Structure 1
Amino acid sequence: MAGGSGAAAAAAGEASENPNVSELPFAEGGESDPSPPRVTFAQYLASPVVTLMIGSRKSETILTAHQGLLVQSPYFSEACAEFADDGSPRQIELPAEDIEAMGCFLEFLYTGDYFPRKAPGQRTLEKDPSIPDVDMTGEQLLKHAKVYTLAENFGLTHLKNLASSKIHCVNSTAKGEIAYARYVYRYTARDDTSIRVPVANFWATRSHTLRSEAEEEFRSLCLEFLQFGYDVLTRVLDEKLKRERNEKMHPGVPGSARKRPRHSSTTA
């Protein structure tokens, strides 16, 4: 797995990009704000080990993590507060969580990031032979989407923002985008505009070209999630009204098309 820097270095690297970097375990406090003494990495590793039981009993996977890092999450802080100090096993059952997303979550706690990392100064992810250049099925998009929803459930805003930013670095196909949109509209809240709005905008501006690559899948998605169809239609109509107003105010001047960081490949 890529990314060999320690958590302290990762936190320092993120400081300039995210004002919430203080949520990371090894971030330093600001000069003007009093902060508690810095907890060393050794102190985190000296905290009790918690057993995490991921998935159902038929396909259960057991992971472990240090409690000192887990409690950075409000969800785990509350769960760990229930443990007795009598030497009994510290276990937390997570039957509904995805094992890969949990792996990314734990990697983030220990290092401040998760694989694949964003290339410095670019809107791309680090290259790896195991990752295709084009996400044909939506697997890459779904990976980051699952980390996003997991971070939402566990109350880690910085991880949620990080996952969202990586979604926009994936080069995908129409079918991959549909798989991603289906997940977003199934597992995110209706008022979660940070992830739903880009999905609706993407299809509103590109459905006329992408629909031909996956006509049946697009139709099925619209019928399955009526809110998706409504959101896309609303943005199409809004854009139409915007163009009409611009044409009336500035006759003969072409309007500027909205662009989205992430793009879809025309490869079927």
Structure 2
Amino acid sequence: MFSSSRRQQPSTSFTTRYGTTKSTKPVKSSFREDSLTRGLQRHESVKSHRRGDSTHTSPTAGNTLTSAIITICVGPEQRLFAGHEEILSRSPYFSAACKGQFFESNSRRINLPDEQPEILSTVLEYLYKGDYYPKLLHNKRKDTWELEDEGNASNVTIYHQATKQMLMKDTIIYCSADRYGLEELKRLALRKQGLRQGMQISTILASARFAYSHTPDSDSKLRAQYLTLIIRSRNNFKKSGTMKLEMEQGGTLFFDLFVAMCNHMDDLKTIRSPFASPFTR
């Protein structure tokens, strides 16, 4: 949860919001373990004063965090993060890495060249805090779930470097959580995405394609959420030039959408009044 970068971290990032620091030294320079430890200790001392109740409790409650510090090198710019081995090992992927399968000699470093720093930061935030910003809150008065800082549109999308497109942040988090074996984080990202509103059609379609490309066929939950979203907003999508271009390119997404549309029509037919005429006029 310690990040090193020449660039200013966004105000909503994990590294900024929880008091971690950054270094202006070149990537090849080594970090002193005592400075990493101090940074992580500062993170543990931060207490949240936001309203509402989170759906998760901190996984570090009662934990002294005395395990080794592991450095994580992320993305083509080789942004550096760090975390405690006992925390990282809650992920099967990182647990295997911490056992030495992916380490280069004795450097105690995990390399993630295809990951985005903002997403890895979110994964670390979840591992330490049990949630990620914006937090999922339960409104006891209405008995509904909602997101803190719901009006902040900057929390919804993120520029994905590999695809060079704006994508829904929760979708990328879901796919990374799948890679790291974090099933609870997948469920959390899915629920948060279901609460998002006001996305552009181009962003929804690009994110749906990303979801199809980065999840196995057996994992239908994220895909089904996009199909449902498109069906519910079909009046907007059928007028969209972006949708037309996407459909001309084809792919599994649109076959699944066709099947889902057919099932939707069958459902409507099933719930139709038994007194209605079978013929249309």
TM-score, normalised to structure 2, is: 0.67
| Corresponding residue for residue 256 of structure 2 | 231
Give the whole-Å Cα distance in 2 for the aligned partners of 1:137 and 1:88: 34
Aligned residue for 2:113? 95
Q: Write 1 or 2 for the structure with the bigger share of helix.
A: 1
| 1:219 has 2:244 as partner | yes
Q: 8 Å contact 2:70–2:109 — kept in the other structure?
A: yes
For the aligned residues, what is the CA RMSD?
Answer: 3.2
Alpha-carbon shift at residue 48 of structure 1 (Å): 0.7
Instruction: Give 1:123 shift.
Output: 3.2
Instruction: Extract unaligned runs of 5+ from structure 2.
Output: 1-11, 19-45, 161-165
User: Structure 1 88/136 Cα, relative in aligned 2: closer, same or farther at 3 Å?
Assistant: closer
Partner in structure 1 of residue 81 of structure 2: 63
Pick one of 200, 204, 229 that aligns with 1:177: 204
**What displacement does 1:75 show?**
0.7
- Residue 247 of structure 2 corresponds to residue 206 of structure 1: no
Secondary structure in 1 aligned to 2:238? helix
Alpha-carbon distance between aligned partners in 2 of 1:89 and 1:147, rounded to the nearest angstrom: 27
Higher RCO (C-alpha under 8 Å, 6+ residues apart): 1
Instruction: Quote the offset at 1:5 in angstroms.
Output: 4.1
Tell whether 2:49 aligns with 1:49.
no
Are 1:120 and 2:152 an aligned pair?
A: no
Consecutive unaligned residues in structure 1, runs of 5 or more: 7-11, 16-20, 28-39, 254-268
Identity across aligned pairs (percent)? 22
Residues 118-174 of structure 1 deviation map (CA, whole Å, 9 limit, x = unaligned): 232243311177x22996899996211111111111111111111111101111232
Structure with greater strand percent:
2
1:236 and 1:88, CA in 2 relative to 1: closer, same or farther beyond 3 A?
closer
Do the aligned partners of 1:152 and 1:160 also contact (CA within 8 Å) in 2? yes
Q: Cα deviations across residues 68-102 of structure 1 (Å, max 9, x unaligned)? A: 1000111111111117xxx9421010011111110
The yes-or-no answer on 1:164 pairing with 2:177 is: no
- Where do 1:106-145 residues align within 5 Å? 106-121=124-139, 122-127=144-149, 131-132=152-153, 142-145=168-171
Q: Secondary structure at the match of 2:146?
A: coil
Q: 1:13 to 1:136 in 2, by over 3 A?
A: closer
What is the TM-score normalised by the length of structure 1?
A: 0.70
